[in-house]
Amino acid sequence: MFQKLLVANRGTIAIRIIRACHELGLKTLAVYSTADKDSLHVRMADEAVCVGPAAAEQSYLNIPAIVSAALTYGADAVHPGYGFLSENGDFAEACHRSGLAFVGPRARHIRLMGDKPRARRIMKRAGVPILPGSEGTGVSEVKDAQADAKRLGYPVLIKAAAGGGGKGMRIARDSVELARLFPLARAEGEAAFGWRTMYL
């Protein structure tokens, strides 16, 4: 069992993890961006460290900063929560290579399931029932999304292929709404995960 856990998330997610750790008698280390310095999860943790500016890609998605914080502050485990880095195999691997326990699946499994279109193909091959959706590697252009929606029927859920935590997700009830919402969902997914691919 580990002694100190770094919580690589914020808000309600981090609060729940910190509460569970305290019930188990574990010390907690919160990370936060400059925008979240006065947040409840920061105050609840035993220790807290700023890992970057307000932009998530420069703080909560900054793997070197988070791993460095864990090592510098003596954490021996990291919990990613959900969203952010929880579906990033590189993060799980970086923790493992740094001698930190990663609370979650192995990096290989995260990589297999983190890419949603790929996960759908794996599940289909394994005989697991899946909902109808985009085939292949996903879509990155509105015209391709329109073709998928026509085949699937409305309403459709637009989802970032590398997404998590609800980022890059919208419901389109018709082709006009799809044309309007698809670029917004794609931009949000790209900003959060660095990947333009979507699926319906």
Which CATH number goes with the domain that contains 84? Answer: 3.40.50.20
- What is the pTM (predicted TM-score) of this model? 0.78
Beta bridge partners of 28: 5
DSSP states along 152-185? H-SSEEEEETT--TTTTEEEESSHHHHHHHHHHH
- Whole-number pLDDT of residue 79: 98
Residues 86, 116: Cα–Cα separation, whole Å: 14
- Whole-number pLDDT of residue 25: 96
Dihedral sign for Cα 135, 137, 140, 144, please: negative
Burial 81-90 (b: 16+ CB within 10 A, else e): bebbbbbbbe
Phi, psi of 116 (to 5 degrees): -60, -45
- Whole-number pLDDT of residue 112: 85
**pLDDT tens, position by position, for the chain (200 residues)?**
899 999 999 999 999 999 999 999 999 999 999 999 999 999 999 999 999 999 888 999 999 999 999 999 999 999 999 888 988 899 999 999 999 999 999 999 988 887 778 888 899 999 999 999 988 888 989 999 999 999 999 999 999 887 666 778 899 999 999 999 999 999 888 877 777 888 89
Among 135, 19, 149, 123, residue whose Cα is nearest residue 79: 19
Question: Could you tell me if 46 and 140 lie in one domain?
Answer: no
Cβ pair 6, 29 in contact under 8 A: yes
Give the domain extent around 47.
Answer: 4-111
Three-state DSSP class for residue 27: strand
Question: Could you tell me if 146 and 97 lie in one domain?
Answer: no
- How many domains does the chain contain in total? 2
The CATH number of the domain holding residue 137 is 3.30.1490.20
Question: Could you tell me if 21 and 74 lie in one domain?
Answer: yes
Three-state DSSP class for residue 90: helix
Question: Could you tell me if 92 and 13 lie in one domain?
Answer: yes
Residues 14, 88: Cα–Cα separation, whole Å: 18
